[in-house]
Amino acid sequence: MTWSICGSRWVRTAMCLAAFTFVSVDAVAVELTARENAVFGQICARCHARPDIGVPLIGDAAEWQRRGAAGFEQMVRNTIVGAGDMPPLGTCAFCTETEIRNLVQLLSGLSPEEAVTP
């Protein structure tokens, strides 16, 4: 799979490697389209790979488990309408709901089945 995040100037090498490890060992295999890949590396990772701005980070399994406890769909909805300092659609104005859902899956490492509301 092409890992466009590694070519992004926003992401430091260490972060890139961490993210790569996270995805390659991830049991939740999400097949991303080329556009989703580009959005993930160029838009979502702009914030979600930065440890200095208080975002849930790519690969922070514990943090995503905690957020996923509210339900996978809730995370998708929060991404679409915006949450805290995240603008609606995570600033991806052209993203479809399906794309957002796939990106949330990749970002969180959670699948819709895993992160169900208890």
> Of 6-14, 28-36, 85-93, 110-118, which segment contacts ligand HEC by CB under 6 A?
85-93
Which of 8, 32, 36, 90 contacts ligand HEC by CB under 6 A? 90
For the beta carbon of residue 52, count every other beta carbon within 10 angstroms.
5
Q: Check residue 28 for interaction with ligand HEC (CB under 6 A).
A: no
Told to check if 44 binds ligand HEC by CB under 6 A, we report yes
Is 49 a residue that touches ligand HEC (CB under 6 A)? Answer: no
Q: What residue is closest to ligand HEC based on CB?
A: 84
Q: What angle do CA 76, 115, 61 make, to 5 degrees?
A: 95
State the number of CA atoms in the 13 A half-sphere of 72 facing the CB: 17
Residue 79 C-alpha from the chain's centroid? 10
Amino acid at 27: A
Q: Applying CB under 6 A, which of residues 11, 23, 104, 115 lies at the interface with ligand HEC?
A: 104
Site size with ligand HEC, rule: CB under 6 A: 26
Residues whose CB falls within 8 Å of the CB of residue 107, separated by 6 or more in sequence, listed in order = 40, 44, 48, 58, 64
Contact positions toward ligand HEC, by CB under 6 A? 39, 43-44, 46-48, 55-56, 67, 74-75, 78-79, 83-86, 90-92, 95, 100, 103-104, 107-108
